[in-house]
Structure 1
């Protein structure tokens, strides 16, 4: 174990020791390194003919790295600013990156152009005529400037100065793909290093990230319109299929990201195999132990390891829930790894990590203790592990299991602090982790209550791979008394789950792991329109169904699993809305006559229901009507 973890610890400077590496991402307005120091203190006055005068040595835009990372005003005192002294936090300044670009590159490129003018050969042959070490140096300088600097110079663009031929179509740079990954995917899956620290490590130790970069490039490319990502996908899959993958945390991260990406492109079996590989490697490294992260000297890197394990834990649970598995692997594994911090701290100064024991004791404290959003999502995932498989219980045991599961979910919600009850954070932005937590809560409520409600599962729902119906159970007359309770809870949860996708933020920035939950909620609303609702409520629920389909459509622009799920849900919706609406008891005969069925064939128990609708499986309705043809829609469009 020591030999494995030493490669994480060795050679990793702390943020204070790494100020030189950090300086390339900040521009504090410091003087050019090539300037004479005395010249940096002089400025020209506005009037001509006047002598240059000196000005104060305090630079206007100077700020320490901790204050910049927290986006707060810095006093800029040296050696430690007043804010860091007040907060008792380490204070350090990054050096300017002005003048750090290789100034020999333009001269080398000019010599290449001059050589190309005097030679009848192409630019590639000209480059070959130069010494090999000069060509390698030029390529290294140009690629470093293009890929990893925070800002690029127009003089370095390939169209103006690159000696290599330009491709016929525009190919996004690695830097651009990383920017897309962090802006569009990372917020909902925040277990990799924050952007600033990731780029710093990419500059100082690119070898450690070489297996992780391809999958990040692929995921970033998915958010570019009209971008063919097949080659990037193939490159990412080749990396994780190597037999000599290094046994470290970065490999676990690469496997986890690839599993999410492959699952979201509707390859569920392949994604499960990749995720299992990530789980086995993580357990072999003992990432489930607090020791693994605590051996890391860099606190940000240690936080990334903690987040990686817990996101692996949550992904394992969601994959199992979609496959209707009775449990998931990591639910049975003891984990002593500490809990993740808040997102604002992850990109700044990492506080002391808290433990699961502290979280369990929070309800008995005199003062309310607020944990990170990530922690509440982890707790809800643990409840998911206790709930999975309940629908395989006998009917008599299911009622008890549902009551226990409902009590755990309601307890989770009641003990949320006030600042965590909304998915909007203090910056008036959607907290993607809380979004996932609140969404998972509503989906679990739909999952446990619908089998005991009057929102029956029609046979055509079997075509849904994301939300197949549960195992059939024998109904009894005594259960009619609880139908209204479970029906009401299912409808409230399904409505709340779909309404989350109406928040004013890009739907495609939500995690694709919630697509199947969106389908489950939409199908519950479809069943409500078929069996329970009428009048104004029927129209309102139909609008929520449209919202659910709209969310699937938006996610389907990127994720194949959403596109396939949208097709399945639309087929089910067409079948439901082709039927006559349940308005009142006198329409029972008309509704069943529409299907060519005698009302005398209806069982007495079903006739006793106040809405007078029989389960579609008993009507054999879908054996006589083509759900894909769109006929018999009664003028209702989806």
Structure 2
């Protein structure tokens, strides 16, 4: 071999050399090799460059025959949860705050990161109330909480004191205070129950949860996770009821709905709706009759006679409830059931369309023995709640263009019967709203609210305060006269029938307004100063009444403009104005503690400003403290671009003032609807549900309110322009 022939030395192989499957963006742009280091590659670290990674779109591993090892289901779920925590949060045009998964604001801004395609991003918490996020409960349920709230050591005495002093009387879900220490001790001090009791007590004694619903959301998520991972029993139901209510009054409506449905499902699974089936007499609240009751041995709590023996064993013999007395446990179950029955209707049915789940089930459950009926009337509240469900059912029939004759007659008779009962409690052996000691019976109070809810839902669709097409539908007004049963739906061509329908609509309008007046009068009777002693859901009833009074003000103002003798209507306008001030005052008091009230008060004020600027100016002056505050609360905070109400001359007569009110409000609408900085955004029907509703109240978001005056003679007034009021409500389908 020639000496000139040189053999190339063998290549030097680096130990453990491997193919790098990812490269940072900086190295990609420079077309240099990247070692894929985490969190920064060595080249970016050396050069002080920003280092970030995105997913490659060139496929998977280049090595043939190499497959990833399969994970068992438990490891796969854990890996998925960990990867979700590494995701950036859902964007909201840069309007982000602290996030439930611990992300910083800068990391949430990395919305183009595609490292984890196919996984849903977690919701960010919003600094701007107008920002929207695409969040469903399924996304929230899979989120992992930091778990700090439940780890604290609760001061049980302080928790019990605040909860029972401020909240328990309005919603007596738990045992009496005298029994509660023993209840907690025997059930091993359940953390989730103490946590929700603490957040309710803190909500009433401070204002921190009125300003930070993110904190409510975090605690609710933590409690929900603990319930889902632990035993399901009566304490789980108690906790779910309270957490659901807290979420609702914090404007976390989708989350609240899911928790409430979970509580109902668990109650039905544990057969609580048949708790007293052995001893039940007569029809239940839904009209179900028990047949062959003597042949049934089901107890509802004990395992001996149930077809679902295992579930009932778990219900009665879980580790933390096995030592509870059976009498106490059964009464707790009754309180839970009837609280769910009430909440599922006042919250779930208040959109005017949704029917209650429990109002369609067997309810062979007696009313609780503690508190006694003289202190809290469960029966009255339940029956009045049932009327709301029936009125919503009537609404659905109306919207379906079906005959309502029999349903309407039966429902209005039932409503009138309950009006008579409340007017003469002694004759019907009912407790008074306020007893001889001045104590308010919260069950009667809530029953009155539900009765007036039912009256509004029943009468408003057929009044001048609701949709124009409904009173023209002959099937909806066939109870007026047999003469209306013909094929011609155009009532405008039939003067006699038109007058008859107008007369009926006036009656329905007055009944609707009377129901709203009754809500305001109940607030007066129970002392507006003590509104925080009532249920926090009173804010919804006052807002509902306020919307009716606003629509009544608009309707009456049009009559004033067309009548020479308008003294009576002017008096009505003054009454509606004072009622609006009263209702807003009550809502504002609750808004200092819970966020929902702030949202609906702000929503109501915005619509008064938009539709009746002069009335808004009067009401705003009434709340001068809020409007002049340097840092106004959420209830009255307004956009810097909000339109200032028009000033009126003292010499302007009432007709001119009313005309200017409406004309100016119509001119305002175009500006306010296009103002991106307006304090409350207009709900959009194509946006997905959010844990925080646009207006802060679910029944506002999912309802619709419009007015029609075409059946009344208003001279030369431009009636068509009043269609702008249709924007008062938007329907989210």
Where does residue 608 of structure 1 map in the other structure? 713
Where does residue 382 of structure 1 map in the other structure? 386
Where does residue 244 of structure 1 map in the other structure? 229
Cα deviation, residue 500, structure 1: 1.8
Name the CA shift for 1:221/1:584 in 2 (closer, same or farther; >3 Å).
closer
Cα deviation, residue 607, structure 1: 5.3
In the aligned structure 2, how far is the partner of 1:520 from the partner of 1:550?
Answer: 14
* Structure 2: unaligned runs, 5 residues or longer: 1-152, 276-298, 303-315, 317-323, 469-488, 493-497, 558-568, 616-647, 668-707, 729-733
In the aligned structure 2, how far is the partner of 1:518 from the partner of 1:604?
Answer: 26
Name the CA shift for 1:587/1:514 in 2 (closer, same or farther; >3 Å).
closer
Q: What does 1:256-275 correspond to in 2, within 5 Å?
A: 256-275=241-260
Where does residue 435 of structure 2 map in the other structure? 425
Cα deviation, residue 492, structure 1: 1.3
What SS is found at the alignment partner of 1:321? coil
Name the CA shift for 1:616/1:190 in 2 (closer, same or farther; >3 Å).
farther
Cα deviation, residue 583, structure 1: 9.2
In the aligned structure 2, how far is the partner of 1:501 from the partner of 1:474?
Answer: 43
Where does residue 524 of structure 1 map in the other structure? 548
Of the structure 1 ranges 306-315 and 496-505, higher mean CA displacement relative to structure 2 is found in 496-505
| Corresponding position: 1:292 with 2:300 | yes
Name the CA shift for 1:325/1:514 in 2 (closer, same or farther; >3 Å).
farther
Cα deviation, residue 253, structure 1: 0.5
TM-score, L = length of structure 2: 0.50
CA contact (8 A) 1:212 1:254 kept: yes
In the aligned structure 2, how far is the partner of 1:232 from the partner of 1:594?
Answer: 40
In the aligned structure 2, how far is the partner of 1:284 from the partner of 1:481?
Answer: 50
| Corresponding position: 1:405 with 2:385 | no
**Which residue, 444, 456, 460 being the options, matches 1:446?**
456
| Corresponding position: 1:214 with 2:195 | yes
**Which residue, 524, 527, 533 being the options, matches 1:509?**
533
In the aligned structure 1, how far is the partner of 2:716 from the partner of 2:520?
Answer: 25
Cα deviation, residue 379, structure 1: 1.3
Cα deviation, residue 237, structure 1: 3.2
What SS is found at the alignment partner of 1:532? helix
**Which residue, 517, 542, 552 being the options, matches 1:495?**
517
**Which residue, 603, 607, 612 being the options, matches 1:572?**
607
In the aligned structure 2, how far is the partner of 1:388 from the partner of 1:611?
Answer: 37
Name the CA shift for 1:231/1:450 in 2 (closer, same or farther; >3 Å).
closer
In the aligned structure 1, how far is the partner of 2:516 from the partner of 2:718?
Answer: 21
In the aligned structure 2, how far is the partner of 1:564 from the partner of 1:275?
Answer: 22
Cα deviation, residue 595, structure 1: 7.4
* Structure 1: unaligned runs, 5 residues or longer: 1-170, 346-369, 459-472, 598-602, 626-638
In the aligned structure 2, how far is the partner of 1:540 from the partner of 1:588?
Answer: 16
Name the CA shift for 1:610/1:516 in 2 (closer, same or farther; >3 Å).
farther
In the aligned structure 1, how far is the partner of 2:334 from the partner of 2:402?
Answer: 41
Deviations 1:566-602 (A, max 9, x none): 01111111233237999999999877776799xxxxx
Where does residue 325 of structure 1 map in the other structure? 353
In the aligned structure 1, how far is the partner of 2:663 from the partner of 2:217?
Answer: 53
Number of residue pairs matched by the alignment: 409
Q: CA RMSD in A?
A: 3.7
Cα deviation, residue 195, structure 1: 0.9
Where does residue 543 of structure 1 map in the other structure? 578
CA contact (8 A) 2:539 2:587 kept: yes
In the aligned structure 1, how far is the partner of 2:658 from the partner of 2:432?
Answer: 43
- Higher relative contact order structure (alpha carbons within 8 Å, sequence separation ≥ 6): 2
Deviations 1:372-420 (A, max 9, x none): 6111111112222222142232567356544432211112333453263
In the aligned structure 2, how far is the partner of 1:216 from the partner of 1:253?
Answer: 10
Where does residue 357 of structure 1 map in the other structure? none
In the aligned structure 2, how far is the partner of 1:604 from the partner of 1:529?
Answer: 14
Which one has a larger percent helix, Structure 1 or Structure 2? Answer: 1
CA contact (8 A) 1:525 1:541 kept: yes
What SS is found at the alignment partner of 2:188? helix
Where does residue 176 of structure 1 map in the other structure? 158
In the aligned structure 2, how far is the partner of 1:233 from the partner of 1:224?
Answer: 19
Of the structure 1 ranges 492-501 and 264-273, higher mean CA displacement relative to structure 2 is found in 492-501
Where does residue 362 of structure 2 map in the other structure? 334
